[in-house]
Amino acid sequence: MIEKNNKIYSLTASCAAGLETLVAQEVVTFGGSEIEQARGLVTWQGDLESAYRTCLWSRYASRIFLKLAEFPALDEDALYQGALTVDWAQQMRVGDSFSVDCSISQSAITHSRFAALRVKDALVDQFREQCGERPNVSVERPDLRIRLYIHQDQATLSLDLSGESLHRRGYRSDGGSIAPLKESLAAAIVTLSGWTPETAADTILLDPMCGSGTLLIEGALIYGDAAPGLSRSYFGFNGWKEHNAALWSRLVEEAVQREEAGLDKEWPLILGYDADPRAVAVARKNIANAGLEERIVIKQGQLAHLRRPAAKGVLVVNPPYGERLAEKDEAEQLHRALGRICKRELDGWQLGVFTANPDFGDRMGIKWEETHRLFNGPISCRLFCGRVQAEEEQEFVWQMSSEPGPPEAEEFANRLRKNGKKILKWANREGVHCFRLYDRDLPHYNVSVDIYEKWILVQEYAAPDTVDEKVAAERFQQSLAQIRHLFGVRRDRVFLKTRRKQKGKAQYQKQGQRKKMHVVREGDCFLLVNFTDYLDTGLFLDHRSIRVRVGKEAAGKRFLNLYGYTGSATVHAAVGGAETTTTVDLSANYLSWARANLSLNGFGGLAHETVTADCLQWLQEDRGEYDLIFVDPPTFSNTKKQRLVFDVQRDHKVLLEKAMAHLADDGLLIFSTNFRRFQMDESLTERFAMRNISRDSIPLDFARNSRIHQCWEIRKK
């Protein structure tokens, strides 16, 4: 059959804001001319082949419109009369179905549904007058989809050649709770990140948080020169009366040949990971639907376990950004982890990170070369692009001044200098970054001095009644002056806290507030601490050795953290290779902190569960078995809302009995308490194999305070 119709049409492609240049570049290759761009639109002059090629090959456009008429529409009557000027019998048959979509901008006509109805009336009336019959309206896949656009009282009627949005490639299955990117946006992200059909075959495409796999599938389609519309069964021109079936068949055959040629060339590794097994299943199904099972590899894996898979590569990723406040905190820490891991593992790689929160790009510590503003639906997002450059971080080392300081509190200065000489040397040798330097060593200087990386926390304890308040305050200021002199530290790196008993909500973060967190290291773990808003910082320094022990014991094990607090022990278990972790605490705020700590280290998903519950009640209801359990209850707690009272001396027997019921036969439970007068129930020592490891669990910086906590190993006999 001979192809015909060399008519030139006015064509328009709609797209997501930010993709106009990419669409315009495509239109050039499709034979378009007189190309113009506006927000979310690209217009051009082209023949039918140009229009068909755009429908078949555009990776970034949403819909393709062919202009039928343009006329003034000051009111509904003018709109009706203008629609009658179109010869509808030239566009469709009376037995065909149709629909009319409408959008309005800055016009006297304001009701889009009524405007669409007036165009429908004009079309139906014209057919009824000419042949005595009328076509039917169909919303679902009509033979002809008509688009009405009214802007500043000017109406444009167009034929929607795409019929449905072009982002629907046909390979995506139901993602359930997973919210994937539109395929057109995903293709743009991959392209702008530096992935092209000419990318060398020894260069990997990697998505470490691949979700439903859309970025990787679009990357494979780009590399394989596969037409994104080739798998679609429906286009808006299928029922168009002027549709050139021969021309379309030729273009489809050409696309098939190009795809086959693309499959025959040498392919790079296209690799995706996700921590959620549900996402992995969805991604694999989508890849199978796209016929790319042999081209894309999907594995379940945590971001924390990402290792350099090849010398060269392009990493593209759309990390979660979090819609709620607590989720935002987790997402922010996940971006920190991503940046740190990329700098450690992917030196020289090209990187494209798509995020809805521009601040998250700054958290990654990458020097970005380009930033693209794109839209994911109505959400304004950023695509950060750059090349990873590994930086050799200079280790921060504290040094104490040997110069004499203020004459006041000289006794305190001498003791602090003596402690520092011993403890700083030990900390540098052992790689300890957070430790106690002074702990009320002298009766007149009732403070503790803790080092957290490059910050100093000074905690003042309430003076005894025998000491005048003014004298105590003066001594505290003198000790501060000596600390600042000895360490040469700026005021903004010294935090002050008064230790007093807090009640109720005073010790917890209020819902909806974001607190200032600082990142510190402990072994191979990164942890968030807060110096100003809580009774404690979120990291109990005296338990450092216990947490390190947990990390060493955790490889391949199911870990349970009861009274998990901010999850620092859970992080050690995860970094140590725990198969799963479960963290239980009654405070939702502390568990949010725990999830942020896990995210900061690249962990998340179903393998790392947090449970808001009373531990005793949860142990009664849970049916799980665990290989390693850490129990560190408070000395006393009283919650009015749940009417729960816990006393560690009174309740530890039933707590440990219930916890041991969940311990595997060859498992280990570590129990710790800071209650100084605690006495272990003797009946427990008869039932279980117990070993007091308190002495071994207290680190050097707390050696003077040997009763700060007690600790036991407990196993089944």
**Domain of residue 116, CATH code:** 3.30.2130.30
First to last CA, the chain: 87
Q: Give a yes or no: residue 394 inside a domain.
A: no
- Closest among 555, 527, 560, 523 to 671, alpha carbons compared: 560
Identify whether residues 288 and 417 lie together within a single domain.
no
Q: Which of 387, 420, 446 is the last residue of a domain?
A: 387
Q: Give a yes or no: residue 243 inside a domain.
A: no
Q: Give a yes or no: residue 298 inside a domain.
A: yes
Q: Give a yes or no: residue 542 inside a domain.
A: yes
Q: What is the CATH number of the domain that holds 591?
A: 3.40.50.150
Mean pLDDT of the chain: 92
Q: How far is CA 369 from the centre of its chain?
A: 22
Identify whether residues 218 and 150 lie together within a single domain.
no
Identify whether residues 76 and 124 lie together within a single domain.
yes
The pLDDT tens digits for 183-205 are 999 999 999 999 999 999 999 99
Cα angle 551-556-561, degrees, rounded to a multiple of 5: 50
Say what the pLDDT of residue 157 is: 98
Share of the chain above pLDDT 70, in %: 95
Q: Give a yes or no: residue 72 inside a domain.
A: yes
> Where do we find the tokens 């439970």?
669
Say what the pLDDT of residue 641 is: 61
Q: Give a yes or no: residue 4 inside a domain.
A: no
Identify whether residues 552 and 474 lie together within a single domain.
no
Identify whether residues 53 and 123 lie together within a single domain.
yes
Identify whether residues 17 and 145 lie together within a single domain.
yes
Residue 701 burial (10 A CB sphere; 0-12, 13-18, 19+): buried
- Closest among 143, 65, 129 to 102, alpha carbons compared: 65
pLDDT bin (cut points 50, 70, 90) of residue 326 is low
Torsion of CA 480, 485, 487, 491, to 10 degrees: 60
Q: How far apart are CA 574 and CA 579, in angstroms?
A: 8
Asked if the model's pLDDT at residue 303 lies above 50, the reply is yes
Mean pLDDT confidence for 282-290: 96
DSSP per-residue letters across 607-624: TEEEEES-HHHHHHH---
The pLDDT tens digits for 140-188 are 899 999 999 999 999 999 999 999 999 999 998 865 445 679 999 999 9
Say what the pLDDT of residue 500 is: 56
Q: Give a yes or no: residue 299 inside a domain.
A: yes
Identify whether residues 654 and 535 lie together within a single domain.
yes
Q: What is the CATH number of the domain that holds 445?
A: 3.30.750.80
Joined together, the tokens standing for residue 53 give 């090629």
Assess contact for 396 and 370: CB atoms under 8 A. Answer: no
Quote the domain boundaries for residue 377: 183-224+265-387
Query: Do you know the residue count of the chain?
Result: 717
Identify whether residues 367 and 419 lie together within a single domain.
no
Identify whether residues 484 and 349 lie together within a single domain.
no
- Domain count for the chain, please give it: 4
Assess contact for 656 and 631: CB atoms under 8 A. Answer: yes
Q: At what angle do helices 20-29 and 48-57 cross, to 10 degrees?
A: 130
Q: Which of 160, 194, 211 is the last residue of a domain?
A: 160
Identify whether residues 194 and 52 lie together within a single domain.
no
The pLDDT tens digits for 531-572 are 999 889 999 999 999 999 999 999 999 999 999 999 999 999
> Where do we find the tokens 């802007």?
151
Q: How far apart are CA 625 and CA 621, in angstroms?
A: 12
What is the number of alpha carbons within 13 Å of residue 174 lying toward its C-beta?
A: 1
Identify whether residues 667 and 615 lie together within a single domain.
yes
Identify whether residues 494 and 570 lie together within a single domain.
no
How many of the other CB atoms lie within 10 Å of CB of 696?
A: 13
Q: Give a yes or no: residue 551 inside a domain.
A: yes
